[in-house]
Chain A
Amino acid sequence: MTADLLRPADRTSPPLLDVRELSVRFGFGGSALDAVSGVDFQLALGETLCLLGESGSGKTVTMRALIRLLPPTALITGRVVLDGIDVMALDANRLRAMRGTKVSMIFQDPLTAMDPVFKIGSQIAETVVCHDGLSYSAARARALEFLELVQIPSARRRLDAYPHELSGGLRQRAMIALALSCRPKLLLADEPTTALDATVQIQILLLLRELQRKLGMATIFVTHDLSVACEIADRVAVMYAGRFVETGTISEVIDSPRHPYTIGLFGSTVHSGTHNGPLTPIPGAPPDPSNMPPGCAFAPRCPRVVPACNERIPELAEFEPGRQARCPRINEEEHS
């Protein structure tokens, strides 16, 4: 059972989501910033992909670009096919219809993501009426069903609660119910547990895992936290400065990280095993997006840098089936 969950999904059937050469640029001309450059991946139903990276690495922008949920100043290029639909070709109405039914999103802060002046029940019912064309009473029944599905205690009473009346954990559950109420095939989760306390965070992670099994949807989960990725991900894509630098199943990446940035991230993470032994942090700070290094963006901080790294951006090369890394020295003999 566990082994099945950890194996990458069957790749023979057409993927639910197919992303090719996705790039996002903000601004124009000389002041343009590349937030995301050339991201490629596929995702199957039932699978969870974690985008792992630090602030500014482009993980949230990547995810928002998939449903074009970015300000008009963002220039999105590339191809995104979701369940047979070319997302980049949709007009505003169709895009709106797709969001919510095929794909929906949950956020870090449910208080700002929900409307403070409407009750939880009516917010969910409104969404269901709008997207699935149900009557209001049927939609309200659906709202109750989903509040129960996300394990909100005394759900019937909570239908008439305002978002501010719920605690942080319940609010996050209510937002998940809202996002899933039209049964999307793809759930985008943007750091949904980061603002939660430890005892509540694990409850929400377990809930998301269970819902995914019940509803069979695919999930893209953005996080900066390796241990959260360990709990939730099937596959991981580590991002740095707008690019994927390493991909693989979560166990492969945890067991044998290959890109120097991923290795550095492990060395910097305090976990239950480290006590008073010095950490091995990555020196320096991520590059300024308006002043990117000419070659590999990680080269200025990399302990294994060679002159070639500064000449051009390395390719994301597959070094084992299902495993990719963006480092020219990946196939060399010595590994740490």
Chain B
Amino acid sequence: MNSVSATTERRARSLAGPRSHVEEDGPVLSVHELKKYFRLSSGLFGAARGYVQAVDQVSFSVSKGETLGVVGESGCGKSTIARLLIRLIKPDQGRMFLDGQDVDAPNSISVRELRHQVQMVFQDSYASLNPRHTAAEEVSFGLSAQGVARSEARRRANEVLDFVGLEPGVFADRYPHELSGGQRQRVNIARALAINPRVLILDEAVSSLDKSVEAQVLNLLIDIKKRLGLTYVFISHDLNVVQFVSDRVLVMYLGKVVEIGPVEKVYRSAGHPYTRALIASRLSMDPRRRIAAPPVAGDLPSPINPPSGCRFRTRCPIAEPVCGTKEPLLAAVGDDPLHVAACHALAPRSGHSLAPQPVSRTASPSGA
């Protein structure tokens, strides 16, 4: 595909207009065995003291129009994934595909082109805006950088600001400190939308907002996704918010994917003991049904030297010796092939006492 003409075509598309879904089906974005370790150095010459295993052998894909929720506790690698996805940091290993095109392969799409299509909204709405840019300047900056004429970029910025619910006449010339937290986050969203991306990475985009404002921004995100046919990767530590917005959920623990599946399946019948504990830790909103005992004991271990084998085994209620020696692979939970979890108790012949028995071959008629 000629990327120059593709860019021009995208620019020509109207923002609010319906998006054509003529491109072939398949994942918009997929990553394969992505790995990122951060080196900890110490001493005069910075000898490696160890590595933070932030993201380790992570593979997943996001389909067109889907919202993939990424959930996990602090230090599980959620934000590292976000940064890897738009190449704010480079992965140590692993491949990444946008529309089936390998991002790192020679003569394939460039990082610049990747960022035309994938944009990000950060958690801290204040730090992620330039304090010396007005809302309109902030939003039009990306367009100007792409060579759009100033007046056209400005016109378009006003259009996008209006689209995210900020009246351009009132807000276009305001600086970040003149906006409230919710308004600033709207500017961030407008900036991400201005260059017509297809995928938005939302890294804790509503986490620092007050509840009443969080609800406004969540409604806005759901609305623009519908109107523009966007694809979201929604990263959050808030299980309720992830359940609310996502189609599929990816649960992470200490840099590893522990479970992926359709949101209702994962929340109702989680396969991994960590997911079960995480979901049971949700508070009930009912003072008559208070939680009586903690679903899981202890804190997260350090990601610097994570436990061997299954990283959750130190807190796991069903850990067995095999969990310390062998790393679990993703195995199907129930009969839905889309719902998988990395637990020895789910994998046939893993050596865990709870593992399902392999189906006996003699009963099968196709035994030839």
- The chain A residues found within 8 Å of chain B, CB to CB, are 2, 6, 54-55, 153, 167-170, 197-203, 205-206, 224-228, 230-231, 233, 250-251, 254, 264-265, 267-272, 274-276, 278-283, 285-286
Contact = CB atoms under 8 A, between A and B. Distances in A.
Given A198-B281, A203-B294, A231-B290, A54 B73 contact: no
Nearest to B292: A206
Contacts of A278: 219, 222
B215 A281 contact: yes
A198 B239 contact: yes
Nearest to A267: B215
Interface string B211-242: 11111101100100000000000000111110
Given A167-B299, A230-B283, A279 B219 contact: yes
B368 interface: no
Interface of B: 73-74, 180, 182-183, 210-216, 218-219, 222, 237-241, 243-245, 263-264, 267, 277-278, 281-288, 290-300
A6 B287 contact: yes
A227 B210 contact: no
A277 to B, nearest CB: 9
Contacts of A275: 243-244, 263-264
Given A227-B282, A270-B214, A280-B215, 16 more contacts: A153-B298, A199-B295, A199-B296, A203-B297, A226-B211, A233-B287, A254-B286, A264-B212, A268-B211, A269-B285, A270-B240, A270-B243, A271-B285, A272-B267, A272-B282, A281-B213
A231 B282 CA distance: 11
B287 A250 contact: yes
A250 B288 CA distance: 10
B180 A269 contact: no
Contact of B284 (A2, A168, A203, A227): A227
B240 A271 contact: yes
A198 B212 contact: no
B219 A170 contact: no
Nearest to B206: A270
Contacts of A231: 283-284, 287, 290-291
A228 B281 CA distance: 11
Given A201-B281, A251-B287, A285-B180, A206 B294 contact: yes
Contacts of A264: 212
A170 B299 contact: yes
Given A198-B73, A199-B73, A271-B240, A228 B283 contact: yes
A287 B172 CA distance: 21
A308 B288 CA distance: 38
A161 B338 CA distance: 46
B73 to A, nearest CB: 4
